[in-house]
């Protein structure tokens, strides 16, 4: 592991033992109900419900990020990770967790895959939602979509399978600060909510062609601590010569991602490594976890892919503060 410096603070400050707990500037909005009725929000025709802005004190806390300098993990073949442990301090991360779980809308996506003649229905084992647009388009301030090259409205059938929606302010504040400290730019924000240790994401890599070569993907964890596992992709037998022994000896990695931690996967990582959040029992796994990834899709296929697999066609789910669980949104409206 190597350590890289922060742009904002002296390294000695980051490595002082146990940093003192900072005095809170105001009490935490432990649940969604804390916001006053005139609180500003984002509202677009493509949102099922408006999304409130982050409270000012949380925006101010974000200006203090990163809370720790990043460590660079690049001591194995094809691996290049920056690990901010944490990026935002735990008390701020926990408030962000409650805010995002309490105010975003989520989906439980189902889709079919076909292997040979056999079709299988996949139930995504977590709640997901997504915001953003690939680089060929841009949002007008009213949420309508313009061609990036001409600033004219897109053809109505440019995105036949989805209704892209702008990144709400509460996630955009996080996107901007993440861009600064990861030195990359992002036009998509994908959000996962793992309700408990039964929710998971299986081994995969984010190496779709629509992300371009060597994509940088930043991933912020909020809420329960969960293990993030990584392993090198299998090396095809024909390449499996002695010169490639270092690939076969690549060791799996386990990063115990805690509330406020941020990792950046970059360089050859996505092309060569797989990552997962496995199901877990015990620890904090019975509590919820929010994961936010920022990515940059280059072409329109990326937009359609992200909305298909993170929104789909099913019900909208929202956090219910009384039941303390996600409920289908229509039922939420009826039962208050
Ligand atoms: O929840 C996480 O930390 C990982 C999420 C992930 O791998 C993904 O969204 O592709």
Q: Is the pLDDT of residue 122 over 90?
A: yes
The residue whose CB lies within 8 Å of the most ligand 1 atoms, and thus the one to mutate among 293, 294, 297, 305, is: 293
Question: Can you give the pLDDT at residue 36?
Answer: 87
The residue whose CB lies within 8 Å of the most ligand 1 atoms, and thus the one to mutate among 201, 290, 297, 310, is: 201
Question: pLDDT tens digit string along 12-46?
Answer: 333 333 343 455 554 455 554 568 888 999 999 99
Question: pLDDT tens digit string along 242-254?
Answer: 545 566 679 999 9
Q: How far is CA 63 from CA 56, 90, 174, 297, 306, in A?
A: 11, 15, 10, 26, 29
| 212 DSSP 8-state letter | -
Closest C-alpha to 145, from 249, 56, 44:
44
The whole-number average pLDDT for the span 232-248 is 68
292 C-alpha vs ligand 1 centroid, how far in Å?
8
Gyration radius from the chain CA atoms: 20
Backbone angles phi, psi at 310, to 5 degrees: -120, -10
The residue whose CB lies within 8 Å of the most ligand 1 atoms, and thus the one to mutate among 109, 203, 228, 276, is: 228
| 136 DSSP 8-state letter | T
Give the chain's mean pLDDT: 89
Question: Can you give the pLDDT at residue 178?
Answer: 98
> Ligand 1 atom closest to Cα of 128?
9
Structure tokens at 291: 């994961």
Q: Is the pLDDT of residue 279 over 80?
A: yes
Question: Can you give the pLDDT at residue 15?
Answer: 32
Burial annotation 74-86 (CB, 10 A radius, 16+ → b, else e): bebbbbbbbbbbb
Domain ranges of the chain: 57-329
Closest C-alpha to 328, from 29, 107, 26:
107
201 C-alpha vs ligand 1 centroid, how far in Å?
7
Structure tokens at 108: 């439980």
Residues with CB under 6 A from ligand 1: 190, 192, 201, 206, 219, 221, 228, 257, 275, 277, 291, 293
Rounding to the nearest 10 degrees, give the CA dihedral for residues 116, 273, 280, 310.
-60
3-class secondary-structure state, position 265:
strand
In the chain, the percentage of residues whose pLDDT exceeds 90 is 79
> Ligand 1 atom closest to Cα of 219?
3
Q: Is the pLDDT of residue 154 over 60?
A: yes
Q: Is the pLDDT of residue 71 over 70?
A: yes
13 C-alpha vs ligand 1 centroid, how far in Å?
30
Q: Is the pLDDT of residue 336 over 60?
A: no
149 C-alpha vs ligand 1 centroid, how far in Å?
31
327 C-alpha vs ligand 1 centroid, how far in Å?
22
What CATH number labels 57-329? 2.60.120.590
Write the DSSP assignment of 17-83 as a string of letters: SSPPPPPPSS----SGGGS-TT--EE--TT-SS-EEPPPHHHHHHHTT--SSPEEEE--STT--EEE
> Is the model more confident about 24 or about 317?
317
Question: Can you give the pLDDT at residue 214?
Answer: 98
The number of beta carbons lying within 10 Å of the beta carbon of residue 151 is 9
Distance CA 309, CA 66 (A): 31
The residue count of the chain comes to: 336
The whole-number average pLDDT for the span 78-97 is 97
202 C-alpha vs ligand 1 centroid, how far in Å?
9
Q: Is the pLDDT of residue 318 over 80?
A: yes
Q: How far is CA 28 from CA 41, 92, 96, 178, 193, in A?
A: 19, 9, 10, 23, 21
- Look at phi and psi of residue 283 and say left if phi exceeds 0, alpha if psi is from -120 to 50, else beta: left
276 C-alpha vs ligand 1 centroid, how far in Å?
7
H helices within 188-316, ranges in order? Answer: 245-248, 269-272, 300-310
């Amino acid at each position: 592991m190597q350590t890289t410096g922060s742009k904002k603070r002296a390294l000695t400050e980051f490595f002082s033992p146990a940093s003192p707990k900072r005095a809170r500037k105001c009490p935490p909005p432990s649940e969604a109900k804390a916001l006053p009725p005139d609180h500003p929000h984002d509202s677009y025709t493509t949102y099922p419900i408006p999304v409130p802005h982050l409270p000012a004190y949380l925006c101010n806390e974000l200006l203090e990020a990163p809370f720790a300098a990043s460590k660079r993990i690049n001591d194995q073949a094809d691996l290049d990770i920056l690990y901010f442990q944490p990026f935002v301090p735990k008390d701020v991360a926990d408030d962000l967790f409650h805010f995002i779980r309490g105010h975003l809308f989520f989906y439980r996506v189902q889709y079919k895959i076909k292997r040979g003649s056999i079709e299988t229905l996949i139930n995504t084992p977590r709640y997901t939602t997504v915001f953003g647009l690939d680089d060929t388009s841009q949002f007008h301030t009213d949420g309508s979509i313009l061609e990036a090259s001409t600033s004219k409205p897109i053809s109505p059938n440019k995105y036949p399978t989805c209704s892209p929606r702008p990144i709400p302010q509460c996630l955009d504040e996080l996107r901007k600060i993440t861009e600064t400290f990861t030195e990359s730019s992002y036009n998509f924000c994908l959000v996962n909510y793992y309700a408990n240790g039964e929710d998971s994401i299986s081994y995969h890599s984010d190496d779709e062609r629509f992300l371009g070569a060597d994509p940088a993907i930043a991933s912020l964890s909020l809420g329960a601590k969960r293990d993030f596992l990584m392993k090198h992709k299998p090396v095809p037998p024909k390449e499996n010569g002695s010169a490639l022994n270092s690939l076969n000896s690549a060791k799996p990695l386990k990063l115990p991602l805690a509330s406020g931690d941020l990792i950046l996967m970059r360089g050859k990582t996505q092309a060569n490594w797989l990552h997962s959040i496995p199901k877990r029992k015990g620890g904090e796994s019975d509590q919820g976890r929010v994961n936010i990834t920022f990515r940059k899709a280059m072409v329109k296929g990326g937009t359609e892919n992200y909305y298909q697999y993170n929104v789909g066609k099913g019900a909208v789910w929202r956090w219910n503060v009384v039941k303390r669980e996600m409920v289908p949104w229509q039922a939420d409206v009826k039962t208050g």
